[in-house]
C-alpha cells in the first residue's frame, strides 16, 4: 500500500486538473480554430500538395516510387493535400494517447467539439420548459435535461457505440480520403453537437450522443495515468467539471447535474457505479473486436499490409468509386462481395465474436476463482479483465494508428516511440490493476473524515512532522485520529456525524445502506452501531428531508445546488456593496431589483421552484446554527403535544404499546434539546441567543434539566444563556387529560411516516383502538409502500378484523416486539434487530404451579415473562435458599443462557395465565454475533446482575 500511495502521489503531480479555466479557455479557442482551419482546408488547399510530389527535394511526405498493390493492381497516386493524412495519422491518435495518459479531465476540457456544443449555453439560446405555479400563477422557465429514466437515458451507451460503429464503417467506405465527404461529416457532427446543446442543458452532447464518449470510457476509466483523484481532492471543482470564471478571477461550478454519476466530476466513481452493468461488457469487449476488425479489414481488402502502412488509404482519390467493387481479396483471389457490404460485415462480425469471447473468458475466470477458492470478487475479476482489454487494444491500436507517419522517423525514433507507448501503458496497468471499489470507498471516507478533522481545528502539527492533513494516506488519517489527545469521544461523534451528513447529502449512502457502507469507518473510529443509529436519528431530526427515501440525492445535484447558492451569495454581496448594509429586508430588496438576474441564474442551473424556495430560505446572513436551532425548536411543540396525547386516560389499557411510543417520542425530544444546546455553545450571549434559550427553557424544562446535569453543559454554555435556560427550572409542567379521540388522532398520524418501523406500527395499532375504519384506510393506503414485515403483518391483520376490541394478542409479531422492547434486557435495541429477533421467538402459555424450567435442565432458551407471574426457587447444593417473585418484563435464566450451562433454579408459574416469550440459545448467540452493540449491552447488564446476585448471596451467608 505504501508503494501504491507513493506511486499515485508522484503521478498526481503531473495532473492537469490544476490548470486554471482561464488558461484552458484560451487553449480550447486555439485548438478549435486549428480544427476549423483543417476542415476549411478540406474544401480548399492549393499549398500542401506541393509537399507530396514525387520529386520534392526534402519533404518526407512525398509520394513513394514503389508500387502499392491493391487487389493485385498498383495504385495510381497523384500529389494530395495533407489534411486527411494529418487528421487520421496524428490528431486522432493524439486523442487516444491523451485519454489513457492524461485522462478525461484533459480531453474533456480541450475537446473542440465539446466546446462548440456549449455555444447555445454561452449565448443563452437553450430550450426551456414553461412552468406555472398553480397557486400563485407565477411563471418560470427551466432548462430541459435528459431524464435518467427516459429511453435515451437508459440506452445512450448503445447509441454512442452504434454511432462509433457507423463512423468507422464510414471511414473505410466514404471519408478516409474523400476530403469533401469528410468535411461534410465533420460539419454535420458539429451541427448536431450545437443542436443538442440547444435542446438539452449541460454537457448532454458529450454524455449522451458523442461517439468519442465510448472510446473515452474505455481508455480513461477508472482514471488516466496522470489523472487526479477527485474523491480525495480538496478542490471543490474537480477534474473536468463544468465551470466558469467570475469577474474576480475565481472559478465557480456551472454543473446542472445533466448526468448521474458524471465522469466529469469523478471518473472513478462513474466507473465503479457502472462496472457491473450489461452495457459495459458490450462496450469494452465489443470495442476490442471493432478496432481489430477495422485494421484487419485493410489487409482483407487489399491482400497485403503495405496498403495500410503506406497510408495510401488516406490519399486515395477515388474512394467512393470502390463502394461496389469486391470487398475482399484473399489468396490472390477477389471475393465478389461489394465493399459496401463487406465493411460492416467484417467490423460487425469481429465485434460480435470479441463480445462473445470476452464474456466466455470472464465466466471461465470466475469459475476458476471459485474452484480454487481464491479471494477475488466477481467485480474485481471483471475490472481486471477490462484493464487487460484496454492495455491490449491500446497497444494494438498504436501498432497501426499513426504508423504511416511514424515510419518516416529514423529507426531509433520509431523504437523510442514504441517503447514509450508500452512503458506508459504498462504503468497505467500497474496503477489500475490495484484499484477496487472497496479501496475507492475507503479513500473516499478517509477524505471525508479528513475534512471533518480540519473543521474541528485540533492541534495536530506535532504529530505530522511538517506535513499537512492532505498529505496523509488513508491509514495514516485513522492512526492520527487514535493518537490525538484532543480527539475526545464527543469530537469523534461530531466528526463521524459530519461524514454521515455529507454522505447522505451527496447520495453516497442512504438510510438503509449507511450501516454497511460506513462499517469500515466505524471500525477505524470505534463507533458502535448504536452510535451510528443515534447519529441518523439526530440528522433526521435536524433535517427530515435528509432521510426521505423518496428524495433522490446525488453528488451531481449537490454540486448544482451549491453552484446556484454561491451565485446568489455573490449577488447579495454586490447588493451589500451598493446599498452599504443588508438588513432583514435586504433579501427581499434583492429579489425585487434582481429578478431578471435571479431568473437567469435559475435557468442556468436548472433550478426548480421548490429548490429556489429552499435555497432562498437559508441564504440570508442569519442562516447557519441559528436557523437550524430555530427549525429544531419548532419541532418540539408537536412532539410535546404528541407525548401528552399518549398519556390520556382513554389509552391507558394499551400501556405496553404506549410505553414504546412514549419512550421513542421522549428520545426524539432529548435529541432535539441536545442538538440545540450544542448550537447554543457557539452562539454569543446576544438577544437572539438568549431569546432562543428562553424559548427552549419554556418548552422542555424537564428534559433540559436532565441533560444539563447529565453532560455538564453548565461549564460549556455562556452564563447569560445558561440563566435563560434555567430560569423556569423547578416549575411543574402539566398537560391536559381531556383530549378527544379526534385530537389524539391528529397528533398520532404524523408518526406513521417515521423512519422507525416500530413507531409506525405501534402508532397504527393505537389509531386502530381509537378509530378502526380510519386505521384500515391507512393500512390500505400505505402498507404496500412499507418494507417492514412488522408493519405489513399488522396492516394485514387490521384489514381482516371487524370487531372494535383489538387486544395486543391478536397481533403476534407486534406483541413480541413490544414486550422485547419494554424489557430491560432488550430495551432500545435497534428496530431491525428487534423485529428479526421477534420473528424467531416463541410465545408459550402456562397455568398455576406449572413448571416452566426445573433445576438441572439444560438451559436452551432465554425466557421473558410477558404476562402473569412466576416464582423462582434458588438452590445451592440441592437446598432451597430463597424464593423470589417474577413480574412481566423480567428475564429468566439469562446467566445460564450466556454460559450455556444447566439451570440451577426452578421456575414455576404463579398465575392461571402465565405467558413466556422464549428465545432459543442458538438465536440468542446469532444476534450476539451480528449486533455488537447488543453484545456490549448484554455484557454490561449481566455484569450488574451478577454483582447484585453476589451481594444478595453474601447477605444470605
- How far apart, in whole angstroms, are the C-alpha atoms of residue 242 and residue 238? 9
* Cα Rg of the chain, angstroms: 36
User: Contact 329/71 with Cβ under 8 angstroms?
Assistant: yes
For residue range 393-447, what is the model confidence (pLDDT) as tens digits? 999 999 999 899 999 999 999 999 999 999 999 999 999 999 999 999 888 888 8
Q: What is the dihedral of CA 506, 148, 131, 254, to 10 degrees?
A: 50
Check pLDDT > 60 for residue 953.
Answer: no
- Average pLDDT value for residue range 510-524: 79
pLDDT band at 4 (very low <50, low <70, confident <90, very high): very low
Closest listed residue to residue 747, CA positions, set 734, 766, 733 = 766
**Residues facing residue 192 across a β-bridge:** none
- Average pLDDT value for residue range 542-566: 77
**Residues facing residue 11 across a β-bridge:** none
Q: What is the dihedral of CA 910, 915, 917, 921, to 10 degrees?
A: 50
What does residue 836 show for φ and ψ, rounded to 5 degrees?
Answer: -65, -40
Q: How many CA atoms lie within 13 A of 29 on its CB side?
A: 6
Question: Residue 582: its pLDDT value, please?
Answer: 46
User: Contact 432/384 with Cβ under 8 angstroms?
Assistant: no
Question: Residue 940: its pLDDT value, please?
Answer: 67
- How far apart, in whole angstroms, are the C-alpha atoms of residue 470 and residue 126? 40
Closest listed residue to residue 64, CA positions, set 303, 297, 301, 306 = 306
User: Contact 339/301 with Cβ under 8 angstroms?
Assistant: yes
- How far apart, in whole angstroms, are the C-alpha atoms of residue 69 and residue 690? 93
Lowest-confidence segment of 175-189, 377-391, 664-678 by average pLDDT: 664-678
Q: What is the mean pLDDT of the chain?
A: 83
**Residues facing residue 753 across a β-bridge:** none
Lowest-confidence segment of 797-806, 808-817, 925-934 by average pLDDT: 925-934
- Average pLDDT value for residue range 698-705: 79
Q: Running DSSP on this structure, what letter comes out for residue 393?
A: H
What does residue 392 show for φ and ψ, rounded to 5 degrees?
Answer: -65, -45
Q: Return the H-helix or E-strand segment holding 341.
A: helix 339-371
Check pLDDT > 50 for residue 622.
Answer: no
For residue range 79-94, what is the model confidence (pLDDT) as tens digits? 999 999 999 999 999 9
Closest listed residue to residue 68, CA positions, set 301, 383, 333, 412 = 301
Check pLDDT > 60 for residue 580.
Answer: no
For residue range 15-70, what is the model confidence (pLDDT) as tens digits? 566 778 888 999 999 999 999 999 999 999 999 999 999 888 888 888 888 899 99
**Residues facing residue 329 across a β-bridge:** 334
Question: Residue 296: its pLDDT value, please?
Answer: 97
pLDDT higher at 272 or 631 = 272
What does residue 907 show for φ and ψ, rounded to 5 degrees?
Answer: -115, 130
Question: Residue 494: its pLDDT value, please?
Answer: 83
Closest listed residue to residue 217, CA positions, set 259, 166, 187 = 259
- Average pLDDT value for residue range 770-798: 80
**Residues facing residue 853 across a β-bridge:** 907
Angle between helices 278-302 and 378-400 (to 10 degrees): 20
User: Contact 270/221 with Cβ under 8 angstroms?
Assistant: yes
pLDDT band at 621 (very low <50, low <70, confident <90, very high): very low
Rounded-to-5 percentages of helix, strand, coil across the chain:
65, 10, 30
Percent over 90 (pLDDT), the chain: 32
Burial class (CB in 10 A: 0-12, 13-18, 19+), 482: exposed
- How far apart, in whole angstroms, are the C-alpha atoms of residue 775 and residue 795? 8
pLDDT band at 10 (very low <50, low <70, confident <90, very high): very low
- What are the cell numbers at 745? 388522532
Check pLDDT > 80 for residue 595.
Answer: no
Q: Where are the alpha helices (DSSP H) in 749-830?
A: 757-770, 772-782, 789-800, 812-822
Percent over 70 (pLDDT), the chain: 84
Q: Return the H-helix or E-strand segment holding 905.
A: strand 905-909
pLDDT higher at 565 or 874 = 565
Q: Running DSSP on this structure, what letter comes out for residue 64?
A: P
Question: Residue 924: its pLDDT value, please?
Answer: 75
By residue count, the chain amounts to 957
Strands 333-338 and 879-886 come out as: unpaired
Question: Residue 550: its pLDDT value, please?
Answer: 63
Amino acid at each position: 500500500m505504501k508503494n501504491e500511495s507513493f506511486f499515485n502521489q508522484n503521478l498526481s503531480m503531473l495532473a492537469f486538473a490544476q490548470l486554471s479555466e482561464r488558461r484552458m479557455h484560451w487553449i480550447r479557442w486555439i485548438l478549435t480554430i486549428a480544427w476549423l482551419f483543417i476542415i476549411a482546408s478540406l474544401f480548399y488547399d492549393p499549398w500542401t500538395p506541393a509537399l507530396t510530389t514525387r520529386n520534392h527535394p526534402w519533404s518526407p511526405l512525398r509520394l513513394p516510387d514503389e508500387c502499392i498493390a491493391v487487389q493485385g493492381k498498383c495504385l495510381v497516386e497523384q500529389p494530395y493535400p495533407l489534411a486527411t493524412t494529418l487528421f487520421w495519422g496524428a490528431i486522432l491518435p493524439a486523442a487516444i494517447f491523451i485519454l489513457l495518459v492524461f485522462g478525461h479531465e484533459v480531453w474533456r476540457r480541450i475537446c473542440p467539439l465539446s466546446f462548440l456544443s456549449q455555444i447555445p449555453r454561452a449565448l443563452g439560446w437553450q430550450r426551456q420548459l414553461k412552468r406555472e405555479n398553480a397557486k400563485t400563477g407565477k411563471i418560470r422557465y427551466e432548462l430541459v435535461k435528459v431524464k435518467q429514466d427516459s429511453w435515451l437515458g437508459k440506452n445512450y451507451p448503445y447509441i454512442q457505440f452504434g454511432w462509433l460503429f457507423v463512423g468507422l464503417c464510414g471511414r473505410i467506405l466514404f471519408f478516409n480520403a474523400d476530403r469533401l465527404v469528410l468535411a461534410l461529416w465533420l460539419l454535420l457532427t458539429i451541427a448536431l453537437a450545437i443542436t443538442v446543446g440547444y435542446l438539452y442543458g449541460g454537457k448532454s452532447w458529450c454524455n449522451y450522443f458523442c461517439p468519442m464518449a465510448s472510446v473515452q470510457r474505455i481508455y480513461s476509466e477508472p482514471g488516466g495515468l496522470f489523472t487526479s483523484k477527485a474523491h480525495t481532492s480538496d478542490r471543490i471543482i474537480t477534474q473536468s467539471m463544468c465551470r466558469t470564471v467570475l469577474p474576480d478571477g475565481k472559478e465557480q461550478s456551472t454543473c446542472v447535474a445533466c448526468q448521474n454519476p458524471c465522469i466529469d466530476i469523478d471518473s472513478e466513481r462513474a466507473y465503479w457505479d457502472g462496472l457491473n452493468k450489461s452495457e459495459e461488457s458490450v462496450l469494452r469487449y465489443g470495442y476490442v473486436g471493432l478496432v481489430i476488425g477495422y485494421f484487419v479489414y485493410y489487409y482483407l481488402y487489399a491482400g497485403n499490409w503495405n496498403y495500410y502502412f503506406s497510408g495510401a488509404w488516406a490519399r486515395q482519390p477515388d474512394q467512393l468509386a470502390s463502394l461496389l467493387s469486391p470487398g475482399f481479396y484473399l489468396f490472390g483471389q477477389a471475393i465478389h462481395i461489394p465493399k459496401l457490404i463487406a465493411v460492416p460485415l467484417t467490423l460487425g462480425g469481429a465485434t460480435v465474436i470479441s463480445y462473445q469471447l470476452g464474456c466466455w473468458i470472464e465466466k471461465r475466470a470466475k469459475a476458476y476463482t471459485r474452484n480454487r477458492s481464491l479471494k477475488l470478487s466477481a467485480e474485481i475479476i471483471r475490472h481486471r479483465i477490462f484493464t487487460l482489454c484496454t492495455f491490449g487494444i491500446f497497444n494494438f491500436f498504436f501498432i497501426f494508428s499513426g504508423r504511416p507517419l511514424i515510419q518516416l522517423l529514423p529507426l531509433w525514433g520509431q523504437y523510442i516511440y514504441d517503447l514509450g507507448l508500452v512503458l506508459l501503458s504498462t504503468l497505467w496497468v500497474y496503477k489500475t490493476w490495484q484499484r477496487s471499489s472497496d479501496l475507492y470507498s475507503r479513500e473516499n471516507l478517509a477524505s471525508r473524515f479528513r475534512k471533518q478533522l480540519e473543521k474541528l481545528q485540533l492541534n495536530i502539527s506535532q504529530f505530522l512532522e511538517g506535513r499537512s492533513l492532505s498529505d496523509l494516506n488513508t491509514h495514516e488519517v485513522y492512526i492520527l485520529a487514535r493518537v490525538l489527545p484532543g480527539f475526545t469521544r464527543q469530537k469523534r461523534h461530531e466528526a463521524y456525524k459530519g461524514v454521515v451528513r455529507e454522505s447522505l447529502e451527496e447520495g453516497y449512502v442512504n438510510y438503509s445502506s449507511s450501516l454497511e457502507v460506513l462499517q469500515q469507518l466505524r471500525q477505524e473510529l470505534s463507533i458502535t452501531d448504536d452510535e451510528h443509529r443515534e447519529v441518523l436519528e439526530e440528522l433526521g431530526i435536524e433535517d427530515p428531508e435528509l432521510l426521505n427515501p423518496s428524495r433522490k440525492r446525488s453528488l451531481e445535484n449537490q454540486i448544482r445546488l451549491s453552484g446556484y447558492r454561491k451565485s446568489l451569495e455573490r449577488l447579495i454581496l454586490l447588493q451589500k456593496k451598493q446599498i452599504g448594509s443588508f438588513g432583514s429586508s435586504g433579501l427581499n430588496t434583492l429579489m425585487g431589483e434582481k429578478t431578471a438576474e435571479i431568473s437567469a441564474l435559475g435557468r442556468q442551473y436548472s433550478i426548480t421552484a421548490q429548490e429556489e424556495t429552499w435555497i432562498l430560505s437559508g441564504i440570508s446572513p442569519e442562516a447557519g446554527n441559528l436557523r437550524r436551532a430555530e427549525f429544531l425548536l419548532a419541532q418540539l411543540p408537536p412532539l410535546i403535544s404528541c407525548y401528552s396525547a399518549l398519556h390520556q386516560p382513554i389509552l391507558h389499557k394499551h400501556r405496553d404499546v404506549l410505553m414504546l411510543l412514549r419512550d421513542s417520542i421522549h428520545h426524539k425530544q432529548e435529541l432535539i434539546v441536545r442538538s440545540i444546546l450544542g448550537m447554543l455553545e457557539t452562539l454569543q450571549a446576544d438577544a437572539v441567543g438568549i431569546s432562543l434559550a428562553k424559548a427552549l427553557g419554556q418548552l422542555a424544562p424537564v428534559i433540559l434539566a436532565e441533560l444539563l446535569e447529565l453532560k455538564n453543559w453548565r461549564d460549556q454554555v455562556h452564563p447569560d444563556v445558561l440563566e435563560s435556560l434555567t430560569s423556569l427550572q423547578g416549575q411543574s409542567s402539566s398537560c391536559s387529560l381531556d383530549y378527544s379521540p379526534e385530537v389524539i388522532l391528529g397528533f398520532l398520524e404524523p408518526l406513521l411516516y417515521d423512519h422507525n418501523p416500530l413507531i409506525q406500527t405501534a402508532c397504527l395499532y393505537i389509531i386502530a383502538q381509537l378509530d378502526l375504519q380510519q386505521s384500515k384506510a391507512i393500512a390500505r393506503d400505505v402498507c404496500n409502500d412499507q418494507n417492514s414485515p412488522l408493519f405489513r403483518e399488522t396492516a394485514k391483520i387490521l384489514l381482516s378484523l371487524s370487531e372494535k376490541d383489538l387486544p395486543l394478542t391478536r397481533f403476534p409479531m407486534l406483541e413480541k416486539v413490544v414486550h422485547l422492547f419494554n424489557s430491560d434486557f432488550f430495551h432500545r435495541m435497534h428496530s431491525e434487530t428487534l423485529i428479526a429477533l421477534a420473528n424467531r421467538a416463541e410465545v408459550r402459555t402456562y397455568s398455576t404451579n406449572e413448571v416452566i424450567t426445573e433445576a438441572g435442565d439444560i438451559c436452551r432458551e432465554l425466557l421473558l415473562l410477558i404476562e402473569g407471574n412466576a416464582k423462582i426457587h434458588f438452590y445451592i447444593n440441592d437446598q432451597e435458599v430463597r424464593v423470589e417473585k417474577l413480574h412481566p418484563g423480567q428475564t429468566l435464566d439469562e446467566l445460564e443462557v450466556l454460559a450455556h450451562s444447566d439451570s440451577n433454579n426452578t421456575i414455576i408459574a404463579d398465575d392461571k395465565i402465565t405467558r413466556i416469550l422464549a428465545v432459543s440459545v442458538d438465536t440468542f448467540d446469532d444476534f450476539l454475533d451480528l449486533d455488537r452493540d447488543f453484545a456490549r449491552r448484554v455484557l454490561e447488564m449481566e455484569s450488574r446482575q451478577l454483582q447484585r446476585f453476589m451481594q444478595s448471596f453474601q447477605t444470605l451467608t
